[in-house]
Structure 1
């Protein structure tokens, strides 16, 4: 009797319960993959997910070279030195006017959203090449359109990740590795619940908008989003089909994609201004002071 085929393997970063990573891990687990579910704090991974027979939980800090190397070693021992799919899902968000943002904190955000992605790809490359594998990078619609109030640092980091991912796609293709760039729109996660509202400095030109920014941090931007599991199921389908390049995914993704193609800048500015009227609110405040 022929031995059972070895299941495909996938490593996913940022798998804390309630997030996109958890939805991805659940979807790939149901599809029969050997899932390496990782998080900086493994105890934050759902016990029900961690308890599945084809799920291995690993501690992984994507900002630590040593932690990434340890993850490579752990995966190699279980898969014979191969990895079929690497999903770079970990990320961070910051909201702050550009005039007030800490440059040091901004660089840290780029470390998570851009440099850590490249570090993961570099370190796992031998395993991916051996498997003729797949790299999946989770970016954001905010990297294409300047959605949200005071998100210039986050938006810029995701724009860098999109262009980086698409460039890496071309570089990795001759090595037999495919690359999928997820341009993610609204997904109902607990990301905002876990984030403290930003504090705008009292001497900021934008201090009067503190209440507005705090309200935006309550998760309302995700109200029309899809669930993490729905997100994960879509990604599994795209991977199974062998899709490469950019895939727009999430609530409002189709409209955002269409708008980015068709709308001139002035029309997009007007649309975003109606969705996030902070410029008008600030002008009204300044006029009221005069």
Structure 2
């Protein structure tokens, strides 16, 4: 967040989305400083985990869901009164990984799929209260996010995915932010697709049969050549 420190209209608050105490503290500060209204809530925090499902640590997966799924619910529930008073907008940043299974990202895909469907439900429930919900399906963005196994023969290839070095196109974070902010401030509702390859994924899911999408998903991951 250091890039924002020189801006005069920014207030930094500590917020741990897995802690109800931390969320409540942030809520009280926002309520006091905004006169009890919040026009935009952006749920952007998230955790990643790259590992074959058979080798995935369940406790790590539970923490992943606690951040990616329940964190969004906790924060939204807490800040809802301020949003309703302002007739505001909730923006949930999700992922193209919410739309299809991706090798080595089963737990991440599951968490994002759960958040996407919950967000679609939230949009229906908040509309009568005057609150819009925007679901951002995000593609590849250039950021700093990034033994004893059946998959040991392709461990190097899995590492490529864990480090985000698979060579897919990536959108610069500033350009992505500009586009999403433009969408939200322009009154967007429902689902929007932003980030490198997000539009391709959108149309591919609508036009390409599942069996072919699955073949494309595993191509080059090592699963297509793995030996046991």
Do 2:94 and 2:116's aligned partners in 1 also have CA atoms closer than 8 Å? Answer: yes
Partner Cα distance (1:164, 1:184) in 2: 17
- The correspondence for 1:270, drawn from 197, 201, 215, is 215
Any runs of at least 4 consecutive aligned residues in structure 1 with deviations exceeding 6 A, and if so which? none
Name structure 1 gaps, 5 residues minimum: 1-44, 193-201
Cα deviation for residue 269 of structure 1 reads 1.3
Instruction: Please identify the structure whose Cα radius of gyration is greater.
Output: 1
Structure 1 SS opposite 2:54: coil
Do 2:90 and 2:134's aligned partners in 1 also have CA atoms closer than 8 Å? Answer: yes
Do 2:53 and 2:106's aligned partners in 1 also have CA atoms closer than 8 Å? Answer: yes
Name structure 2 gaps, 5 residues minimum: none
Partner Cα distance (1:189, 1:95) in 2: 16
Do 1:188 and 1:223's aligned partners in 2 also have CA atoms closer than 8 Å? Answer: no
CA distance change for structure 1 residues 255 and 72 in 2, over 3 Å: closer, same or farther? same
Partner Cα distance (1:217, 1:267) in 2: 24
Which residue does the alignment assign to 1:230? Answer: 175
Do 2:169 and 2:196's aligned partners in 1 also have CA atoms closer than 8 Å? Answer: yes
Residues 82-231 of structure 1: matches in 2 within 5 Å?
82-147=37-102, 149-192=103-146, 202-221=147-166, 223-231=168-176
CA distance change for structure 1 residues 221 and 210 in 2, over 3 Å: closer, same or farther? closer
Partner Cα distance (2:56, 2:216) in 1: 25
Cα deviation for residue 218 of structure 1 reads 2.5
How large is the RMSD of aligned CA atoms in angstroms?
Answer: 1.3
Which residue does the alignment assign to 2:25? Answer: 70
Cα deviation for residue 59 of structure 1 reads 0.8
Do 2:135 and 2:190's aligned partners in 1 also have CA atoms closer than 8 Å? Answer: yes
Count of equivalent residues? 228
Cα deviation for residue 275 of structure 1 reads 4.3
Partner Cα distance (1:221, 1:173) in 2: 40
* TM-score scaled by length of structure 2: 0.96
Do 2:143 and 2:173's aligned partners in 1 also have CA atoms closer than 8 Å? Answer: yes
Which residue does the alignment assign to 1:261? Answer: 206
Cα deviation for residue 156 of structure 1 reads 0.5
Partner Cα distance (2:220, 2:156) in 1: 16
